[in-house]
């Protein structure tokens, strides 16, 4: 387990900056991420930290989020720059560096890509993406299916999640970030 004091400080920050519901979601995602990390051989400490902090920027005012995204040195495509719901992944990855001095590239990437996924997606990023979808508080229609896929194979679960997300974007007439399509192509090739 990562240092209890450090985790306590992260939790205190989240309690101050997130609604009760989102705080609970964050803890649930951290726990789901640890379960997946154990199952698929990833670092459980990093999984807990990335899961806990993945939505750290979610409730920042939009203008603050936009400023962070604008200034970000991370690779952000034009589609993401126009999609407010996607800002918090980028801003979260920036915030954990400045707020908590976290510079681990796996944790940064996991938070940065938890909403959109990416090509050549690192294992920890896949784990956080899925943990966010299957955490205890989730109750959407196909959540049981997603939980089952996540027990069977990380790649299969990612592919199904991406299909769902892309279909949903198409249905709503939304644009699709380049990194989401790259992830979809990768997992389609992997899961044959
Ligand atoms: Fe999120
Ligand atoms: Fe989330």
Ligand 2 centre distance from Cα of residue 4 (Å)? 22
pLDDT for the residue 192: 80
Are the C-beta atoms of 50 and 124 separated by less than 8 Å?
Answer: yes
Q: Could you confirm whether domain 4-190 is CATH 1.10.3210.10? A: yes
CA 92 to chain centre: 10
**Tens digits of per-residue pLDDT, 80-120?**
999 999 999 999 999 999 999 999 999 999 999 999 999 99
Ligand 2 centre distance from Cα of residue 74 (Å)? 20
1 pLDDT higher than 60: no
pLDDT for the residue 152: 97
Ligand 1 centre distance from Cα of residue 31 (Å)? 16
Are the C-beta atoms of 81 and 69 separated by less than 8 Å?
Answer: yes
**Tens digits of per-residue pLDDT, 160-187?**
999 999 999 999 999 999 999 999 999 9
Per the listing, tokens 């979808």 go with: 133
Q: Give the residue extent of every domain in the chain.
A: 4-190
Ligand 2 centre distance from Cα of residue 88 (Å)? 10
Q: Evaluate if pTM is beyond 0.85.
A: yes
Ligand 1 centre distance from Cα of residue 114 (Å)? 6
Ligand 1 centre distance from Cα of residue 83 (Å)? 13
Ligand 2 centre distance from Cα of residue 91 (Å)? 14
Q: How far apart are the first and last CA of the chain?
A: 36
**Tens digits of per-residue pLDDT, 131-168?**
999 999 999 999 999 999 999 999 999 999 999 999 99
What is the percentage of the chain residues whose pLDDT exceeds 70? 99
Residue 23: nearest ligand to its CA? 2
């Amino acid at each position: 387990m990562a240092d209890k004091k450090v985790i306590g400080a992260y939790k205190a920050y989240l309690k101050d900056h997130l609604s009760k519901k989102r705080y609970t979601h964050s803890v649930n995602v951290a726990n789901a991420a640890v379960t997946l990390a154990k199952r698929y051989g990833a670092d459980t400490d990093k999984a807990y930290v990335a899961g806990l902090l993945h939505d750290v920027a979610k409730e920042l005012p939009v203008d603050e989020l936009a400023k962070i995204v604008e200034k970000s040195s991370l690779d952000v495509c034009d589609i993401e720059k126009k999609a407010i719901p996607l800002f918090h992944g980028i801003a979260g990855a920036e915030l954990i560096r400045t707020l908590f001095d976290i510079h681990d590239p796996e944790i940064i990437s996991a938070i940065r890509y938890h909403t959109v996924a990416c090509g050549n997606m690192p294992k920890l990023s896949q784990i956080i993406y899925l943990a966010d979808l299957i955490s205890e508080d989730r109750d959407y229609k196909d959540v049981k299916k997603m939980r089952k896929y996540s027990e069977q194979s990380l790649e299969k679960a990612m592919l199904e999640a991406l299909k769902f997300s892309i279909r949903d974007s198409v249905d709503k007439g939304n644009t699709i970030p380049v990194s989401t399509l790259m992830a979809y192509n990768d997992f389609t090739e992997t899961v044959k």
